[in-house]
Amino acid sequence: MNQGPWKAFIRLCEDMSHDQELSAFFDLFFTIEEKETLASRYLIIKALLEDKLTQREIANTYKVSISQITRGSNALKIISHKLKKALTSRM
């Protein structure tokens, strides 16, 4: 993936100053399905960080597939301890 456009997109996100502005911005860039996918990924990552439910329980609770949970779990394995700590405290 070409990082230039992705970094530019991230900078645009950072420049959005209000929730309504950011929401409208995301409405422009993401379809409903893409937003639902992001929301599911958020719930999966949050549940994995909380470490209270098994993967099967996460799948049943949030109506997501085991493969989605596995991808989230694998992603958490490669992030820094600092990022994991920041996510845990903010989610």
- Domain extents in the chain: 30-91
Confidence of residue 67 (pLDDT cuts 50, 70, 90): very high
State percent of the chain over pLDDT 90.
95
CA 51 → CA 46, 57, 77, distances in Å? 9, 11, 14
* pLDDT at residue 17 is higher than 90: no
* pLDDT tens-digit series, residues 50-60: 999 999 999 99
CATH match of 30-91 with 3.40.190.10: no
Do residues 58 and 66 lie in contact, with contact meaning Cβ atoms separated by under 8 Å?
Answer: no
- Tell me the CB-side half-sphere exposure of residue 16, using CA atoms within 13 A: 14
Residue type, 10: I
